[in-house]
Amino acid sequence: MTLLFTINTDYYKFLGGINCEFEAINYNLHDLGYRAFRDGAQMAFTE
C-alpha cells in the first residue's frame, strides 16, 4: 500500500482521520488505509 493517496474530506472525517497514537506517519497512514479498506473503499494502484 502506498503512503501517497487522495481521499475525500468527508470520508476522511467519517473514518476518524489520522490516529495520532502512533509516533511515525508511516503507521498512522497505514492505519487509515486499513480502516478505509475494511469499510469497502476502492483502491487503485498506479505505476
Question: For residue range 12-27, what is the model confidence (pLDDT) as tens digits?
Answer: 899 998 888 888 778 8
Q: Tell me, what DSSP letter sits at residue 16?
A: T
Task: Evaluate if residue 38 carries a pLDDT over 90.
Answer: yes
Query: How does 23-39 read in b/e, with b if 16+ C-beta sit within 10 Å?
Result: eeeeebbebbbeebeee
What pLDDT score does 29 carry? Answer: 84
| Mean pLDDT computed over every residue of the chain | 83
